Amino acid sequence: MTPSSAPPAPQAVSSPVTRNAFFIVATVNDDAASRASVRAWCADVANLTRAIGKRVPSGNLTCVVGFGSQAWDVLFGAPRPAELHPFREFGTGERVAVATPGDLLLHIRADQTDLCFELATQLMTRLEGAVTTVDEVHGFRNFDMRAIIGFVDGTENPVGDEAVHFTVIGDADPDFAGGSYVLVQKYLHDMKGWNALSVEAQEHIIGRTKLQDIELDDAVKPDWSHSSLTTLEDADGDEIKILRDNMPFGRPGHGEFGTWFIGYARSPQPIEQMLENMFVGLPPGNYDRLLDFSRAVTGGLFFVPSEPLLEALAVRDPHAAQTVAVASALDTANARAKHDTLASAGSLAIGSLKGAPRYE
Ligand code: HEM
């Protein structure tokens, strides 16, 4: 790729904020047939999302798929995304950003639960026998973007071109241009403890006012506030942002109240720096007091291939592939064109994807 050419289209990483999200983390079963099924499935994702999304165009259905470090090697081999590695743990004792198993991440978003549910069902049915789900959370948008702890969440997210700039890999890793990294953690909150705090104490912990969601003045905002510890600057003093789409979830009947943290960036580095600041502290010991009321119970890092690369991965031979086969991308693009023609002719041809050749 020449430095001036536009990167391949990203998956729907910076899609609009939606009312619902399903998060599914799965491990790939340890046999050749399972790995072949997961690879072949990569070509189904966009088609299924399109087909189901068309039924409710206003529902903003999207799906982002990511792969963990070890999974990448066994599924696709070399080349591999330059910065993909297993989730790095931060902190000690009571306050640890734990790493938990996960090879495959599905981040399904829509403005209706039924759209998320249908797409999750179709995608997981095609993965039956090939993967084992290790975590599944159905998140909901809580009033005016409130996290379950009552504060507006997502305010400082980059938007538009800025979101693309901070999330999409460019010339830094040409084989993986158009891709992103995504870091996820499931948090459970001690709501009794949190609600026992005064609003003022909560505002100091977050670094913003609760009702109006205004950033606290530097004179009163503690340097251990969540906002202070997650604000990063580069050497020139410019802010380095990530794109978050956290979702509240819970089971009130079980006393469970949580936040599914999901952060996209073009490198894992800034998200990991934020985790270090939160869990270890800046300087060490000056940690994020939100963690006195929030426990991370999962943690995973995934690479999100560009849309054309995801389709091309379906025909990747992990033993032979040394370069991303442009020809494969073209083949799948042609197959998609054929699929669209069939779809518009009234035959959706999705069933035929089930019978797609296996490559191992
Ligand atoms: C317990 C889970 C979490 C909750 C409930 C939470 C909640 C919030 C809230 C309410 C805000 C202020 C409004 C906003 O700008 O979005 C915020 C800001 C932010 N959070 Fe979190 N967050 C959590 C975990 C994390 C983690 C794990 C990271 C990064 C690794 C992170 C990164 C950020 C960033 C970058 C900001 C914007 C800071 C700024 O520019 O002022 N958050 N979060």
Residue 294 is assigned to a structural domain of this protein: yes
- The b-or-e profile of 1-34 (16+ CB within 10 A means b, else e) is eeeeeebbebbbbbbeebbbbbbbbbbbbeeeeb
Best residue for ligand 1 mutational test, from 96, 246, 293 (most atoms within 8 Å of Cβ): 246
Task: Write down the pLDDT at residue 321.
Answer: 54
Q: What is the span of the domain harbouring residue 172?
A: 20-192+231-354
Q: Which residues pair with 105 in a beta bridge?
A: 25, 66
**Domain annotation covers residue 305:** yes
Distance of alpha carbon 331 from alpha carbon 311, whole angstroms: 9
Residue 285 has which token pair? 């010991």
Q: Give the predicted TM-score (pTM) of the model.
A: 0.89
* Domain contains 201: no
For residue 337, what pLDDT is reported? 46
CA of 27 to the centre of ligand 1 (A): 28
Flag whether 222 is in a domain.
no
Say how far residue 176 (Cα) sits from the centre of its chain. 17
Strand residue runs (E) in 190-271? 232-233, 239-240, 243-244, 247-251, 256-265
Write down the pLDDT at residue 325.
43
Assess contact for 244 and 60: CB atoms under 8 A: no
Report d(CA 55, CA 73) in Å as an integer: 36
Best of 244, 275, 294 for a ligand 1 pocket test (most atoms within 8 Å of beta carbon) = 244
Strands (E) across the chain are located at 20-28, 62-67, 90-92, 95-97, 104-110, 131-140, 180-189, 232-233, 239-240, 243-244, 247-251, 256-265, 294-296, 300-304
In a domain, 153, yes or no: yes
pLDDT block averages, 10 residues each, the chain of length 360: 72 96 98 98 98 98 98 97 98 97 98 98 98 98 98 98 98 98 98 98 98 98 98 97 98 98 98 98 98 98 98 91 45 44 34 29
Write down the pLDDT at residue 7: 84
Split into its structural domains, the chain has a count of: 1
CA of 222 relative to ligand 1 center, distance in Å = 15
Ligand 1 lined by 230 (C-beta under 6 Å): yes
- Whether residue 101 is preceded by a cis peptide bond, meaning omega within 30 degrees of 0, is no
Q: Is 225 in the pocket of ligand 1 (CB under 6 A)?
A: no
Domain annotation covers residue 301: yes
Return the ∠ at Cα 62 (arms to 59 and 67), rounded to 5°.
Answer: 160
The CA distance from 274 to 282, in Å, is 10
- Is residue 274 within 6 Å of ligand 1 at its C-beta? yes
Distance CA(222)–CA(243), nearest Å, equals 24
The catalytic residues are 153
- Answer whether residue 82 is part of any domain: yes
For residue 345, what pLDDT is reported? 35
pLDDT at 355: 30
Per-residue model confidence (pLDDT) at position 286: 98
Residue 214 lies in a domain: no
